[in-house]
Structure 1
Amino acid sequence: MKADATAIAGLHAIADRFDHVLLDQWGTLHEGLAVFPAALECVARLREAGKRILILSNSGKRAGSNQRRLATLGLPPDAYDGVLSSGEVTWRGLHAREQAPFAELGRACFLISRDGDRSIVDGTDLVVVSNMREADFILLGGLDDDAAEPERWREPLATAAARQLPMLCANPDLVMFGVAGLIPAPGALAAFYHSLGGTVLFVGKPHPPMFAAARDQLGRPPPDRILVIGDSLDHDIAGGRTAGMLTLLIGSGAHRATLAQASDLPRAIQTVAGTAARMPHWTMDYLTW
């Protein structure tokens, strides 16, 4: 595999290569407390340079919820061009019922969400049922901390798998930050369901529906004029690569434990990535102009 990740000091070095940015949240813009000062300045400089910025999140909640959260962390809505969450893409797909995987699903769903959030079904013609036995499919939008451990779900999910009940997972992330630290995220529960023989359909990074929806929201520009910036080789980089977009890895995020001690960062990324399909075009330590 060719080592094609070029280390850069800031986005200004490649600003002529892209017109649009798909920007990850956690690990790139912030880590839950406040938007990093350098990232805040970088977003402003991108807008000054005429770039359009769409924030991409694997959150199972709707875009508005994510936008309000970003505002509390210091990034106001007028600083960028929009938020696209996997929950928003899922809601749009379930509302329109025009494309796979949404068109093939039934109307009765068993909803699993965080904090009792029902925004992912509001305004659709779905009927939320309280028992998996009455459902046509399982809609996994989020998980409360106390329900995150997959083994807690073994009995009902084994029964659902035996019934060949499909699961639509609106957040492919495998881990998330809970009160006590890292805990399983919805993607881990989806993987557990798959291990029980269940069929899982994913919306979110790195899966194609997420990047297709992002490109549509930007007005369908050429993919090679879109730069995907994120801290995950599995989600941001792999998804952007598959979509034919440019990619940049933030080294201080999800892979920092592995990359922090590397004397040759691009070579270390090559080792972690494993395949060309997960290799970023560029890399830098943190988001900066």
Structure 2
Amino acid sequence: MNVATTAISGLRAIADRFDHVLLDQWGTLHEGKAIFPAARECVTRLREAGKRVLVLSNSGKRASSNQERLATLGLSPEAYDGILSSGEVTWSGLHARAHEPFAGLGRACFLITRGGDRSIVDGLDLTIVTDVQEADFILLGGLDDAAAEPERWREWLSTAAARRLPMLCANPDLVMFGAKGLIPAPGALAAFYQRLGGTATFVGKPHAPMFAAALERLGNPDPRRVLVIGDSLDHDIAGGRAAAMLTLLVRSGAHRETLADADELPAIRVAAGSEAGMPHWTMKHLTW
């Protein structure tokens, strides 16, 4: 169903429309250096207004790692109601092995993460291998800036594709903020693997399991009273719309080059690709 997209200057204008917020992290709360002051105030005001705020992130790291990082950037755990990362959902799936795509994976894992982080495999019955020839599957949790360009992985991933190794991508984001601006994110590397003939399964926004896990964490409220706030049409808005939730696009994040100063709906519609991908509301920065 199509929606009428409205530009607003602050969340106070629509506060009566929702009870819960699923709040994106990168590009919405911060860009890796410090929590945006207006965003910090907004989270405070949301809680004062009785809203539950759950940070929903496509980070391939565990929830605790993300919580610690937010604290160092200026947002304490007491300021919001919890955090759910795609890395946490992936870890839980690999731990339980109760359903696909987790149940069918082997135990020898070729691990790709950012900064050598291994929290996504801590406590799991896995053997981490450094040669794709010895792996049963690839677990893609994150990428260092210097290794973000997919072409750097062509030789290894071509070998993996020839062996029909499944890839589990715990961060579907296509772009991320690097030291010099936007660079390819893990989702782009997984898409590159698919183009090489490999099979990739994604955990995180916009995929349904992420939003189902978020609703469960919130106590299974009516999704029509849940507002998804994020800077990605492809992940935050598409996932929220598919889950029958309300959606708000922050234009100064992933789409900043085309939408940061554009209030005209045609520009957003072009970026969204269709009326079905349009957000309910849009604002330049997260603010109350």
Which consecutive segments of 4 or more residues in structure 1 shift more than 4 A?
none
Q: Is 1:125 the equivalent of 2:122?
A: no
SS at match of 1:84: strand
Per the TM alignment, residue 101 of structure 1 is displaced from its structure 2 partner at its CA by: 1.4
Q: Which position in structure 2 is the counterpart of 1:231?
A: 231
Q: Which position in structure 2 is the counterpart of 1:87?
A: 87
Per the TM alignment, residue 2 of structure 1 is displaced from its structure 2 partner at its CA by: 5.4
| Amino acid of the structure 1 residue aligned with 2:201 | L
Per the TM alignment, residue 253 of structure 1 is displaced from its structure 2 partner at its CA by: 1.9
Per mean C-alpha deviation after superposition, the further-off stretch among 252-261 and 213-222 is 252-261
Across the aligned residues of Structure 1 and Structure 2, the Cα RMSD in angstroms comes to: 1.6
- Structure 2 distance, partners of 1:3, 1:222, is 18
Q: Which runs of 5+ in 2 are unaligned?
A: none
Q: TM-score, normalised by structure 1?
A: 0.95
- Structure 2 distance, partners of 1:269, 1:3, is 13
- Structure 2 distance, partners of 1:206, 1:179, is 26
Q: Which position in structure 2 is the counterpart of 1:149?
A: 149
Q: 1:43-192 to 2 correspondence within 5 Å?
A: 43-192=43-192
Q: Which runs of 5+ in 1 are unaligned?
A: none
Deviation sequence 1:160-193 (CA, Å, 0-9, x none): 1111110000111122233343332211111111
Q: Which position in structure 2 is the counterpart of 1:270?
A: 269
Q: Is 1:279 the equivalent of 2:278?
A: yes
CA contact (8 A) 2:31 2:177 kept: no
Q: Which position in structure 2 is the counterpart of 1:41?
A: 41
- Structure 1 distance, partners of 2:61, 2:26, is 15
Deviation sequence 1:221-275 (CA, Å, 0-9, x none): 111111000111111000111111110111222222212443x433431232121
Deviation sequence 1:58-98 (CA, Å, 0-9, x none): 11111111111111111110000111111111111111111
SS at match of 1:115: coil
Per mean C-alpha deviation after superposition, the further-off stretch among 133-142 and 251-260 is 251-260
- Structure 2 distance, partners of 1:208, 1:220, is 14
CA contact (8 A) 1:3 1:270 kept: no
Per the TM alignment, residue 48 of structure 1 is displaced from its structure 2 partner at its CA by: 0.9
Deviation sequence 1:106-133 (CA, Å, 0-9, x none): 1221111112111101111122122211
CA contact (8 A) 1:20 1:225 kept: yes
Q: TM-score, normalised by structure 2?
A: 0.95
- Judging changes above 3 Å, is the alpha-carbon distance between structure 1 residues 130 and 233 closer, same or farther for their aligned structure 2 residues? same
CA contact (8 A) 2:193 2:199 kept: yes
CA contact (8 A) 1:237 1:279 kept: yes
CA contact (8 A) 2:208 2:243 kept: yes
- Structure 1 distance, partners of 2:3, 2:48, is 32
- Judging changes above 3 Å, is the alpha-carbon distance between structure 1 residues 36 and 215 closer, same or farther for their aligned structure 2 residues? same
Deviation sequence 1:35-75 (CA, Å, 0-9, x none): 11111111111111111111011111111111111111111
Deviation sequence 1:188-235 (CA, Å, 0-9, x none): 111111000000000111111211111111111111111000111111
How many percent of aligned residue pairs carry the same amino acid? 77
SS at match of 1:99: coil
- Structure 2 distance, partners of 1:163, 1:277, is 38
SS at match of 1:283: strand
| Amino acid of the structure 2 residue aligned with 1:274 | G
- Structure 1 distance, partners of 2:149, 2:6, is 39
- Structure 2 distance, partners of 1:115, 1:28, is 22
CA contact (8 A) 2:5 2:279 kept: yes
| Amino acid of the structure 2 residue aligned with 1:163 | R
| Amino acid of the structure 2 residue aligned with 1:189 | L
Deviation sequence 1:146-168 (CA, Å, 0-9, x none): 32222222122111111111000
CA contact (8 A) 1:205 1:236 kept: yes
SS at match of 2:90: helix
CA contact (8 A) 1:3 1:267 kept: no
Report how many residues are paired: 288
Per mean C-alpha deviation after superposition, the further-off stretch among 119-128 and 169-178 is 169-178
